[in-house]
Amino acid sequence: MSSESSGSKTSHGPSLPQFFERYQPLIAAALRDELQPHELPLYTTLRYYLGWVDPNGNPDPRPEGKALRPTLCLLACEAVGGNPEDALPAAVALEYIHNFSLIHDDIQDQDEMRRHRKTVWAIWGEPVGIVSGNTIFSLADLSSGKLTDRGVDPATSVAVGRVLAERYLKMMEGQFLDISFESRLAITTPEYLDMIQRKTGALIECSIYCGALIGAGSIRSDELIGNMRALGRELGYIFQIRDDLLGIWGGPATGKPVGADIQRKKKALPAVHALDNASGAAAKRLRAIYSKKFVSAPDVEIVLEIMDDLGTREHCESLAREHWDKALHVIESVPLSGKSAHDLRDLGEFLLIRES
């Protein structure tokens, strides 16, 4: 299947696979329902960050985000024969945990813009940003505890809660490793992949893992759950590697200029590959640029030229394809319900070429 099969091309790049439309109304309603009882101004910051309102609390007509992680959770639940609506409390928890991490990331990185809008801390200040992140994290815990209200058996509910806790702990470990990389020039590809498997991959793996646990319920087999978990892990790698490519070679759809991650001296996969493989004068220039306090536009051009000479972009794309081959093997070897195998193939192809 070609990349275009994931959706028609538009000026904003490939469109989302069609199955997203199947779940988005359910997810949007569940996310709002969880926040609906809370009226303090604190919760306006969360509704704003989720894209529902402007800073004054007025409805925002712009499209909302992809809700990738909750969508994966519902898809995995249905793929193993379950009712996706049963997984909604876990889906909400996943989206809230994801946004908790972004709110705090924005503060740590001092990013004033995300999703083409000002970040929480940039509007309300860092203390409110910290409290907002902690609040949505707490709401995630409350939501995941409501699985039994949907008829999920208690043992499965406890298992899902444990998986969520383990994976957001891994996410924090990955964030720590990512911060530690900022002061290092020598980072190996295996070290980097371990970091992203924790920071980004853990929550994507968790989305598939939890959905499969809920869908299979008490009759689940260890082999099926293990395969679904492995699928989630491979999709996590693909997602982050593509994110790294967009951070260097992205365009208008990302809201970032070409070379944005170079200017920030971010040690994403392209930088890791270039620093690890450059030699001679090119290696010296790279190390000098990544050791600077500020990276200039001419510096960015130099790094882009070196990456081009090294085949860095092709290397990253090839690595993403390797992980997609592993994911595809799982999809083709596991018995899945209905159109789920087709949907998961569409998802993988989309993640390889997404532009935002």
State the pLDDT at residue 338.
86
Let me know: does 295 contact 289? Beta carbons within 8 Å: yes
CA 313 to chain centre: 20
DSSP 300-331: HHHHHHHHHHHTHHHHHHHHHHHHHHHHHHHH
> Please, what are the domains in the chain?
19-353 (1.10.600.10)
Question: In a 10 Å sphere around its CB, with 0-12 CB exposed, 13-18 middle and 19+ buried, how is residue 218 labelled?
Answer: exposed
| Residue 252 confidence class, pLDDT cut points 50, 70, 90 | low
| Eight-class DSSP state of 14 | E
State the pLDDT at residue 39.
92
Does position 293 have pLDDT exceeding 50, yes or no? yes
Residue-wise pLDDT for 99-155, tens only, equals 999 999 999 989 999 888 999 999 999 999 999 999 999 999 999 999 999 999 999
User: In whole angstroms, what is the distance from residue 73 CA to residue 66 CA?
Assistant: 13
Rounded to 10°, the helix 222-249/269-277 angle is 70
State the pLDDT at residue 208.
98
